[in-house]
Amino acid sequence: MMKPVVISGKNPMNVDSFVNVARHRAKVKCADDARSNIFRSNQRVLQLAHGDEPVYGMNTGFGKNSSIRISKEDMETLQENIIRSHACGVGEAYETEVVRGAMLLRLVCFSQGYSGVRPELFDTLLSMLNKNLVPIVPSRGSLGSSGDLAPLAHMCLPIIGLGKVQYKGKILNGLDGMRAVQIPTLKLSYKEGLALTNGCVFGESLAAISLYEAKRIAVTAEIVSAMLAESLEGIALGYRAEVHEARPHKGQAQTAKNLLRLLDGSTLIKWDSKTNVHSCYSIKCIPQILGPLRTALPHVEEIVLTEMNSATDNPLIFERNGTVYSLSGGNFHGQNIGNATAYLAIALGSVFKNIHTLVSRATDNALSDGLPKFLTENSGLNSGLMLAQYTSGSIYNEYTGLATPLTIQNISSCANFEDATAMSNAQAKNLYKAVQLAYESLAIGLITGVQALNFRINSPSPDRTDAVVLGKGTSKAYDHVKEQLSKSGMEFPYNDGKKPLGEWINMAIEIVKSGKLIDICKDYLDNHEA
């Protein structure tokens, strides 16, 4: 049984705990300090509800309608109205892990003690999460400002007996789903509809999952790049520590250190300048190309963790010196998470760019320093990895569109009242798609590297005097990786008479996504957790 994740101000949510809940269905508990925050905040809302001061979204309309006062008799009706009217998303549904992550983040937001929702509402959403009753949420409709209004409204429809949910593989209407897990529906009270729908938690959920994957991608890219560099008999002089001490970017230095450890023991790699001093950039500059991803990760993580453990709805309820008051601010605005995901998408682009370049070089016999054309025997009869390079190019081309920053764009909304929007949700969705593509790119790089090394071992270049045999002359990391691929059913060298190449690529995708490649090589990595 996975250890429950506890919502508590004393232990802020981290990315690993978040993924355990979102993806692996760890149970969630609420600590006493968080529950006290929720109770006190709700008492403050009740005090405001019985007063005469205007409170945005509680006794006023929303957006440009905020100048319209709402009568006391209609204040609770207003809260359910916003859920119904804002649930207008379209398109394919978000993945289950993304919705579960958003549910968790809404709970963390409420636990900060600024939202004013009732403990009953908190417990309803908590029970849905723990019983894995997952709302069906269309993925298009958010501008990332005022938060993810449409997605959140869909997420909350089942609470009032509407919408659709997924439960045990079946799609049910919201009311039937709530009954199936014996969770009573609620009539929303003061401010609750607004609290449920304000905040960029879908963008945050997408960002947190993508960050978790990007950490693994950074390490996997170093492993795959090392094998490709080795197969192309690259020069390792540029990986030496003194080069990176002269330009002390931490990510660059870490990547270089890992390359040296991964390649240790190889006689294919050139360790001195007796024959040549200069490899092509895609080999020589791997630390400078992949290192920026490692550099980006801590910065993005700082932003994601801040977002995950903050109050991001509006208005926020405060008490100072015995006076309760509300402030209508902009913590719902997604620019922080949008810019962070744009930055990470660009940093990931260096992985795609260089892996594709190395794959292209390895499959081109004019550039591969003695490797056979398209890495196959009997070229012509066999096409070998010719189309693997095409597919790699297709992946890279699709990625370039996903990495184009959307957060510098603007679409005004709410009759130009909400006139500077973040576009963070779309940006975070693109990053989420990009990390899936990264695994596909790395899988092709992995197969290409192993295929090339297999030929290099058994057919050394004519100018080599030290014939290389299997298990001698290659890096230890390569030997372990090839063994793992063989266990999965891949027999090298691949030729056209074997299984369709796509089957091998799909097997390799599963290997890199599972983290097995990192586990296999962790003894040869200085930092295998990025």
Residue 510 and residue 181: Cα distance in Å, rounded?
Answer: 34
Please report which confidence band the pLDDT of residue 64 belongs to, taking 50, 70 and 90 as the band edges. Answer: confident
- Contact present, 304 and 213 (Cβ < 8 Å): no
Structure tokens at 3: 């250890």
**Residue 465 pLDDT:** 42
Please report which confidence band the pLDDT of residue 247 belongs to, taking 50, 70 and 90 as the band edges. Answer: very high
Q: 115-140 pLDDT, tens per residue? A: 999 999 999 999 999 999 999 999 99
pLDDT at 472 over 60: no
Would strands 323-327 and 316-320 be described as parallel, antiparallel, or unpaired?
antiparallel
Domains recognised in the chain with CATH numbers: 5-198 (1.10.275.10), 207-524 (1.20.200.10)
Amino acid found at 232: L
Average of per-residue pLDDT across 37-65: 91
Please report which confidence band the pLDDT of residue 468 belongs to, taking 50, 70 and 90 as the band edges. Answer: very low
**Residue 332 pLDDT:** 86
- What lies within 8 Å, CB to CB, of 471 at 6+ separation is 479
Residue 31 and residue 324: Cα distance in Å, rounded?
Answer: 25
Return phi, psi of residue 198, to 5°: -95, 130
Q: How many residues does the chain have?
A: 530
pLDDT at 192 over 90: yes
Average of per-residue pLDDT across 228-234: 93
**Residue 135 pLDDT:** 98
**Residue 473 pLDDT:** 63
SS3 label, residue 456:
helix
Mean pLDDT, all residues of the chain: 92
Average of per-residue pLDDT across 228-246: 94
Q: pLDDT above 90 covers what percent of the chain?
A: 75
Residue 367 and residue 296: Cα distance in Å, rounded?
Answer: 32
Please report which confidence band the pLDDT of residue 393 belongs to, taking 50, 70 and 90 as the band edges. Answer: very high
Would strands 5-7 and 28-30 be described as parallel, antiparallel, or unpaired?
parallel
CA atoms within 13 A on the CB side of 63: 15
SS3 label, residue 426:
helix
Query: Which is it for the CA torsion 41, 85, 98, 184, positive or negative?
Result: positive
Q: 338-363 pLDDT, tens per residue? A: 999 999 999 999 999 999 999 999 99
- Contact present, 445 and 472 (Cβ < 8 Å): no
Residue 312 and residue 13: Cα distance in Å, rounded?
Answer: 15
Please report which confidence band the pLDDT of residue 471 belongs to, taking 50, 70 and 90 as the band edges. Answer: very low
Q: pLDDT above 70 covers what percent of the chain?
A: 96
Q: Name the helix (H) or strand (E) containing 477.
A: helix 476-487
**Residue 301 pLDDT:** 98
Q: 257-273 pLDDT, tens per residue? A: 999 999 998 888 888 87
**Residue 146 pLDDT:** 82
**Residue 464 pLDDT:** 45
pTM (predicted TM-score): 0.94
380 versus 527: the higher-pLDDT residue is 380
The alpha carbon torsion through 131, 136, 139, 145 (nearest 10 deg) reads -70
Amino acid found at 37: N
Residue 55 C-alpha from the chain's centroid: 36
**Residue 459 pLDDT:** 63
Rounded (10°) angle between helices 201-231 and 149-156: 110
**Residue 529 pLDDT:** 83
pLDDT at 92 over 60: yes
SS3 label, residue 273:
coil
pLDDT at 250 over 70: yes
